[in-house]
Amino acid sequence: MSNMSVKDRLTRLVLAFALIFWAMTPTGPTLFGGYLGMFLLATAIIGWCPLYMSIGFKSKKQ
Protein backbone atom coordinates (compact mmCIF):
# COMPACT_ATOMS: atom_id res chain seq x y z
CA MET A 1 0.00 0.00 0.00
CA SER A 2 1.45 3.32 -1.08
CA ASN A 3 1.68 6.20 1.39
CA MET A 4 3.58 8.67 -0.82
CA SER A 5 2.29 11.11 -3.44
CA VAL A 6 3.80 11.37 -6.91
CA LYS A 7 5.34 14.74 -6.03
CA ASP A 8 6.94 13.23 -2.92
CA ARG A 9 8.32 10.30 -4.94
CA LEU A 10 9.81 12.57 -7.62
CA THR A 11 11.41 14.78 -5.00
CA ARG A 12 12.95 11.73 -3.34
CA LEU A 13 14.27 10.48 -6.69
CA VAL A 14 16.02 13.77 -7.39
CA LEU A 15 17.48 13.93 -3.88
CA ALA A 16 18.53 10.27 -4.03
CA PHE A 17 20.47 10.68 -7.27
CA ALA A 18 22.08 13.89 -5.99
CA LEU A 19 23.17 12.23 -2.72
CA ILE A 20 24.46 9.11 -4.44
CA PHE A 21 26.44 11.19 -6.92
CA TRP A 22 27.78 13.41 -4.12
CA ALA A 23 28.79 10.36 -2.08
CA MET A 24 30.93 9.15 -4.99
CA THR A 25 32.93 12.39 -5.15
CA PRO A 26 36.13 12.75 -3.13
CA THR A 27 34.71 15.56 -0.97
CA GLY A 28 31.33 13.94 -0.31
CA PRO A 29 30.05 12.12 2.78
CA THR A 30 30.83 8.67 1.44
CA LEU A 31 28.92 6.17 3.57
CA PHE A 32 26.21 8.29 5.16
CA GLY A 33 25.29 10.13 1.97
CA GLY A 34 25.31 6.93 -0.05
CA TYR A 35 23.12 5.04 2.40
CA LEU A 36 20.69 7.92 2.72
CA GLY A 37 20.52 8.19 -1.06
CA MET A 38 19.86 4.46 -1.38
CA PHE A 39 17.10 4.66 1.23
CA LEU A 40 15.46 7.56 -0.60
CA LEU A 41 15.80 5.76 -3.93
CA ALA A 42 14.23 2.57 -2.57
CA THR A 43 11.31 4.38 -0.95
CA ALA A 44 10.70 6.42 -4.12
CA ILE A 45 10.62 3.30 -6.29
CA ILE A 46 8.38 1.34 -3.91
CA GLY A 47 6.15 4.29 -3.00
CA TRP A 48 6.07 3.35 0.66
CA CYS A 49 8.05 5.00 3.47
CA PRO A 50 8.48 3.19 6.79
CA LEU A 51 9.10 6.48 8.60
CA TYR A 52 5.76 7.82 7.39
CA MET A 53 4.13 4.59 8.54
CA SER A 54 5.63 4.86 12.03
CA ILE A 55 4.25 8.37 12.61
CA GLY A 56 0.97 7.77 10.78
CA PHE A 57 1.59 10.30 7.99
CA LYS A 58 0.54 9.97 4.34
CA SER A 59 1.44 12.43 1.61
CA LYS A 60 -0.84 10.59 -0.82
CA LYS A 61 -4.38 11.90 -0.84
CA GLN A 62 -7.04 9.24 -1.17
**pLDDT the model gives residue 38:** 95
Q: What is the DSSP string of 6-59?
A: HHHHHHHHHHHHHHHHHHTSTTS-HHHHHHHHHHHHHHHHHT--HHHHHHT---
Which pLDDT tens digit goes with each residue over 3-59? 899 999 999 999 999 999 988 888 877 788 889 999 999 999 998 888 888 888 888
**pLDDT the model gives residue 1:** 77
**pLDDT the model gives residue 33:** 87
d(CA 16, CA 58): 20
Its pTM stands at 0.83
